[in-house]
Amino acid sequence: MAQIFHRSTNTLSRVSVFGAVFFIAFLLWLFDAVNRSPYITQQGIARVQPVQFSHQHHVGAIGIDCRYCHTSVEKAAFANIPPTKTCMNCHAQIWNQSPELEPVRESWRTGRSIEWVKVYDLPDYVYFNHSIHVAKGVGCETCHGRIDRMPLVSQHPSLEMSWCLDCHRAPEKYIRPREDVFTMGYVPAGRQEEIGEKLKAEYHIRPTRELTDCWTCHR
């Protein structure tokens, strides 16, 4: 009776047993890679908003300070999304016939909220507070990127925990003088390490061991 399999399949089967290890490793890697990709993290993907508000225009071209709208960024956990009233401060007169702004005027007339789409959506088990970061010299730009060059806002970092820890482990690499927190396009006046170390002492930034405690962010 003839053999069903040729002799060469012996080798083939050994190779495939060996290859399965790599195949499984590849699947694990693929799972991790997809998880870290913008497909999951939403990094760099501009959100479509009910009004196509351009930070590039309002911050970059007009030069309006972040805090004009994000009023509570210096004193609360939440930076604040401005109420329609803040839009109407200017747009009652400027572009007040523009169809682009009809949702704003409608909200103003009816009192219904504009439902903006949240861009930086942290998991609910993470505690984050804007005011402490601003007070300790973390620039807006450090986490939000060049907002003054974003027609539509996208998420600048991946917002993975490792990204948070990059700074919590070595804040001196990222912090800047308080008066430059709201500056876009800040360039340190000297070596960042030296400036960072000096500011870290001056602003009483806690030691890395405390900044990387679990309960610092998961409370």
Partner 1 sequence: MRRLRFAVLVALALASAFCRQDMQDQPKYKNLRGSAFFDDKRSARPVVEDTVARGSLWQDDRFTTGKADGKLVAALPVPLTRELLERGRDRYGIYCTPCHGLTGNGMGMVVQRGFRQPPSFEIDRLREVPVGYFFDVMSHGFGAMPDYAAQIPTADRWAIAAYLRALQLSQRTTIADVPASARPALESPDAPAKAAPLPVDVDDWRRAVDEGPTEPPEREH
192 interacts with partner 1 by CB under 8 A: yes
- Find the binding residues for partner 1 in span 71-90 (CB under 8 A): 71, 77-78, 80-81, 83, 85-86, 88-90
DSSP letter for each residue of 99-158: GGGHHHHHHHHH-PPP-PPPSS---TT----HHHHHHTT--HHHHH--GGG-SS--B-S-
**CA torsion, points 70, 121, 41, 27, in degrees to nearest 10?**
160
The whole-angstrom separation of Cα 42 and Cα 154 is 8
- Find the binding residues for partner 1 in span 13-72 (CB under 8 A): 56, 59-68, 71
Give the bridge partners for 155, in sequence order: 43
Report the length, in residues, of the chain.
Answer: 219
Binding-site size for partner 1 (CB under 8 A) equals: 49
185 interacts with partner 1 by CB under 8 A: yes
193 interacts with partner 1 by CB under 8 A: yes
172 interacts with partner 1 by CB under 8 A: no
125 interacts with partner 1 by CB under 8 A: yes
For residue 207 the two structure tokens come to: 């030691």
119 interacts with partner 1 by CB under 8 A: no
Spacing of C-alpha 31 from chain mean position: 22
113 interacts with partner 1 by CB under 8 A: yes
Binding test (CB under 8 A) with partner 1, winner from 103, 175, 182, 199:
182
Residues near partner 1 (CB under 8 A):
56, 59-68, 71, 77-78, 80-81, 83, 85-86, 88-90, 92-94, 111-113, 115, 123-125, 141, 145-146, 148-151, 173, 182-185, 187-188, 191-193
